[in-house]
Structure 1
């Protein structure tokens, strides 16, 4: 099955000149979504994770069913102030300013092998920050994966871990 056929392209979203790749049409197609999870299962299994982490918010849609399929736990990497209880933050630089992501304190145990998931890898900034956050709390990031990758933005080059994607957009 060609998963790319199930990704809707939305021009000029969220702003003029941006072509948005909408995963919601993939999620709405049961056979395509099942194939996506099965293919990600094969990729992610190679990284031998103890637990999966998903990046807010579409990464949750990828990581949670995959964790269930693999019989693993799932943890959320969220923007500051979105998780209850004590959290561990990580602040990183953006093109214009900074952003902060967090995980709940104690969610990832020291030494746990973690694979981080998102729906899309673009410039790699948020994924690289998530890697550093997991390391900060003592996790060992063994790899990362996404459904889609915008290869022309070279986000993979910002990562120092193995990375896999199912669909590549080259321009």
Structure 2
């Protein structure tokens, strides 16, 4: 892992900045700082949909890499909780489908697709809350970007198919 980080200068700079924010120039921590400012500005109920200030040039990539911060600012703590509950429900249902899949392939496929969505969401949220170094990962289903949305929707469709296949197998046996 260290080799992968050290192989590119920008990766090493991100990790060093994350571990010691005071050692880097203010530009290196600008994105994460503005992300936290946006989330803090939202308070409990948010400033209102479309009324966020951070996306107006303060927070780079507010529509993709830091959409969670924009949601936190505009929808507030309650909106953030709704997003967390939705992703938690997705992961719970995905693992439930995996547990009841008819064969090992279906189980592994369901676990992998659920982990893909769940881990991607956790990484995005972790970066937005300054718990992880900046990565540029989008928030599944929410961030702007056709490729990200397409992958999330295809993964969900396959996951639903695994769940439906389980019902057909159980129905045919009974």
Fold match by TM threshold 0.5: no
> Which is helix-richer, 1 or 2?
2
TM-score (normalizing by structure 2): 0.28
TM-score (normalizing by structure 1): 0.29
> Which is strand-richer, 1 or 2?
1
Bigger radius of gyration, 1 or 2?
A: 2
